[in-house]
Structure 1
Amino acid sequence: MAKVVNLTQARKARDRAAKRAEADANAAKFGRTKAERDLEQAQADKARAALDAHKRDQADKRDPE
């Protein structure tokens, strides 16, 4: 005896699997992990802080009062 299949559920499952496969391909192609994003942000913050630490104050450029 053959197994009874709900065609609507089968179609939705097939569509979900196709979308999941496409999403996985896009994630591999374009995505970065959260750890990678956090590391890049931390490196950018550190570089910005180092640059700001070497800037001269605006008060130094004005006439002394």
Structure 2
Amino acid sequence: MTADIVNLRAARKEKARAARRAEAAQNRAKFGRSKAERTLDEAQQERAARRLDGHSLRPDDKGDGGV
């Protein structure tokens, strides 16, 4: 019966790598969005802003004939 020799420094480094990978996976799930999703969201925000601007009353649009 022989025991496996374990390098403690390597084991510590591997444990730290695993922790970083787990944290990265959590961040991807929490914050990650594809480029298509970001582009779609930007387009929807821009369209909403243009629609809002289209409904605004400007000083020259008071309806008094521009007098």
What TM-score does the superposition give when structure 2 sets the normalisation length?
0.61
> Could you tell me how far apart the structure 1 residues matched to 2:24 and 2:61 are?
54
User: What amino acid is the match of 1:9?
Assistant: A
* Greater relative CO, 1 or 2 (CA 8 Å, sep 6+): 2
- The CA deviation at 1:45 is 0.7
Question: For the aligned residues, what is the CA RMSD?
Answer: 2.8
Moved more, 51-60 or 38-47: 51-60
User: What amino acid is the match of 1:16?
Assistant: R
Structure 1 unaligned residues grouped into runs of 5+: none
Secondary structure, aligned partner of 2:15: helix
What TM-score does the superposition give when structure 1 sets the normalisation length?
0.62
- Structure 1 vs Structure 2: percent identity of aligned residues? 47
